[in-house]
Amino acid sequence: MTFRQFAFNNVFRNKRTYAAHFLSSTFSIMIFFTYALLLFHPNLTGELKSTSETISELGTIGFRISQGLIFVFSFFFILYSVSSFLKTRKKEFGILMMQGMSMRQLKKLVLIENMLIGFGSIFIGIMIGLIFSKLVLLISASILMINNGLPFYIPTQAVLLTIITFIFLFLIVSLFTFKMIRVTELVELIQAEEKPKPEPKSSIILSLLSFVSISSGYGIVLYINFRRIISFPLLGLGVLLVIIGTYFLYTQCSVFLLQAAKKRESLFLKKTNILTFSELIYRMKDNATMFFIVSIISAVAFTAIGTTAALGNKELSRMTNPYTFTYMSFEENKMENEHLSVIKKSLNEANIPYRMGSASTKYTESNVSVMKLSEYNDLAKALGYQREALDREDEILLVPGWIAQKQEFKDGEFKKEIEVIHGDWMKTFHVKKAVKNLVLPHEVENILIAVQDDVYDKIPFINREDVPHSKERIYGFVVDDWMKTKEISHQLNNILDRDRDGEERNYYFAALTLQWLQAKQTNGLLLMASVLVGIVFFTFAASFIYFRLYTDLDRDQQQYKMISKMGLSKRELKGVVTRQLLIMFFLPIIVAVIHTAVAYTALQQLVDFSILNSSIVILISFVCIQILYFFITRWRYLQKLYKTMDQ
């Protein structure tokens, strides 16, 4: 038997050990290939013009970032799995070196094994990706709302990129593993699994610090969102505190709580709890870093997917523009009446009922935009809001000009008096009421007020050079079932685009359906990227637990075999193992779900629609997958232990 045959046989003899490593590597390669498949698709290269807007640049950047993330995490994941295997094979390496194998041959053996698994996972991953490529293209076309679909093509570039990238990755991992194989004495290798583990230690101060850090992090994140403070350093501090707290939660607090429970004899000595707690203390200490990584990765995956799912909600477009069609006419627009007639005629011919309102605003030197009360009520009626009234000339309605102001007004955070200065004209107004809804598109960057009509007429009009289109009128058309206006939106957009005089833009037209489609396509690309990356992260997280469990399998088999001779039944063993695996599988997920829930709570403050449904669906989906993975792993793990007990 040659050396290469020996290496090949070594891999196939350790199928159980390499199974999770091989399957997870194959899965990450398949996802990477899927990104490349979409990245190089001819219909997604350059410009995606299904809504007359270029969105592929963002999609390309998103896909490339996602591929980079998968590459980086694949590197650390494969490196972790290989290091786990090396730890379990110390005794095997010691025996091989006693038989005369040199260190150079040992490194060559590990290199061949790594590359064999690498080539195998690359081939299988690409083949699975090709098999499901048509389905991926169909789903992608549906998410991106591309009417003609994405045709299948021969993804030569995608295949080459995947092969070159992951061959390079497996070579780098092999170079790192060489540094891990450092042996001082053969006896150390042979007796590696027989060394007793020291008693785990914990600190009450660091245990308390974990709760303080996590609570402080949550508090900062929620505070800046509820108070609408834009501060990335403060947000980063909150996230950092949560990460630090999570680390100490596993390395210190979990061990401290288990040791405290162990001291309660009524609990510790009850049935098989002595086995459960004693083993859990060691497992929590040994796996603390792994649990920490799983929690953080899972929380990032859940939050990213939930955020992009929320961005795809149709109500997000209505938050910034409440009108189905918006026509803004600037000064010197000679086609205003003609365009309005075209819009009304098109809606009537399509039998689409609509409501219409219009308003003009005056921009003042005090950074306040002013509109007539009658025109405010005109817009409010079209939008289905209540009419408002002003009793005195010095009373005004405060109207939100952008989204953040809506929540500020709801919380009562606004000035009670506003001074308006324009040229020689000046007046101080008292705020009678701050309304809660936008009546103009999210374009106004200054304070917006509604005054009595005669007061509005007294404000002089001054053509300001620093304000482009300082004289304008906005017409808003409201259609209740606006999602069905896609076809007429395209028609109107094409008709009005033809009337533009070169670079001179005397009017502006926007269709809510087209804005939503553009956002849907942009967010669809982000959703695909985040979902695929999230699935890879979640798979890696579950595989970390699998690796750690099977790293200790030989030791566990010997331990439970000895305990079974003292009277431990299979039923009792199942109970002990189930309790331990429940904590190993679900404690990191529970922590990740709590982190995600806080992130979702903060996200909810930024939007007017509920993200509860999409959030629950995402979290339940991942938890169900974890439950399935738990039962499969427990079944296989118990079968290995039962087999040892029967010997």
Helix/strand/coil (H/E/C) assignment for every residue in 140-182: HHHHCCCCCCCCCCCCHHHHHHHHHHHHHHHHHHHHHHHHHCC
Specify the range with the lowest mean pLDDT, choosing from 338-352, 354-368, 542-556, 561-575. Answer: 542-556
Mean pLDDT to the nearest integer, 558-567: 78
Q: Would you say 573 and 637 are in contact if contact means Cβ atoms under 8 Å apart?
A: no
Which tokens sit at 382? Answer: 């079209």
* Residue 168: pLDDT over 70: yes
Strand partners, 218: none
pLDDT one-digit tens code per residue, 371-422: 899 999 999 999 989 999 988 888 989 888 776 677 677 777 778 888 888 8
* Residue 587: pLDDT over 80: yes
Q: Would you say 253 and 230 are in contact if contact means Cβ atoms under 8 Å apart?
A: no
Local structure of 200: helix, strand or coil = coil
Per-residue H/E/C for 437-469: CCCCCCCCCCEEEEECHHHHHHCCCCCCCCCCC
Mean pLDDT to the nearest integer, 296-309: 78
Calculate the average pLDDT of the chain.
78
Q: Would you say 316 and 609 are in contact if contact means Cβ atoms under 8 Å apart?
A: yes
> Rounded CA gap, 246 and 249, in Å?
5
CA neighbor of 612 nearest in space, from 404, 242, 313: 313
List CB contacts of 630: < 8 A, sequence separation 6 or more: 581, 582, 585, 586
pLDDT on residue 465: 57
pLDDT one-digit tens code per residue, 364-383: 888 888 889 999 999 999 99
pLDDT on residue 123: 93
Strand partners, 450: 371, 397
> Rounded CA gap, 412 and 591, in Å?
36
List CB contacts of 456: < 8 A, sequence separation 6 or more: 362, 370, 371, 372, 373
- Confidence band for 149, pLDDT divided at 50, 70 and 90: low
Strand partners, 507: 329
* Residue 198: pLDDT over 50: yes
Which tokens sit at 119? Answer: 């080539």
Query: Is residue 549 within a helix (H) or strand (E), and if so which, with residue range?
Result: helix 512-551
pLDDT on residue 184: 45
* Residue 344: pLDDT over 70: yes
* Residue 144: pLDDT over 70: no
pLDDT one-digit tens code per residue, 451-484: 999 999 888 876 655 555 557 888 999 998 888 8
CA distances from 483 to 167, 320, 496, 593 (A): 48, 16, 21, 34
Q: Give ∠ CA 584-585-590 in degrees, rounded to 5.
A: 100
pLDDT on residue 611: 67
Local structure of 473: helix, strand or coil = strand
Portion of the chain with pLDDT greater than 90, in percent: 11
Mean pLDDT to the nearest integer, 620-638: 85
Report which DSSP code applies to 434.
Answer: E
* Residue 493: pLDDT over 70: yes
* Residue 216: pLDDT over 90: yes
CA distances from 558 to 180, 187, 561, 563 (A): 27, 20, 5, 9
> Rounded CA gap, 322 and 442, in Å?
9
pLDDT on residue 470: 58
Whether the full predicted model's pTM is greater than 0.75, yes or no, is no
DSSP string, 324-391: SEEEEEETT-TTHHHHHHHHHHHHHHTT---EEEEEE-EE-TTSEEEEEHHHHHHHHHHHTPPP----
Mean pLDDT to the nearest integer, 20-41: 80
Residue 536 burial (C-beta neighbours within 10 Å; 0-12, 13-18, 19+): buried
List CB contacts of 154: < 8 A, sequence separation 6 or more: none
Specify the range with the lowest mean pLDDT, choosing from 218-222, 305-309, 617-621. Answer: 305-309
555-593 burial, b at 16+ Cβ within 10 Å, e below that, comes to ebbeebeebbeeebeeeebebbbebbbebbbebbbebbb
* Residue 58: pLDDT over 60: no
Q: Would you say 114 and 170 are in contact if contact means Cβ atoms under 8 Å apart?
A: yes
pLDDT on residue 504: 55
Local structure of 96: helix, strand or coil = helix
> Rounded CA gap, 514 and 518, in Å?
6
CA neighbor of 622 nearest in space, from 236, 306, 340: 306
- Confidence band for 212, pLDDT divided at 50, 70 and 90: very high
pLDDT on residue 240: 92
> Rounded CA gap, 467 and 76, in Å?
54
Sole residue written with tokens 């020996």: 6
* Residue 187: pLDDT over 70: no
- Confidence band for 163, pLDDT divided at 50, 70 and 90: very high
- Confidence band for 508, pLDDT divided at 50, 70 and 90: confident
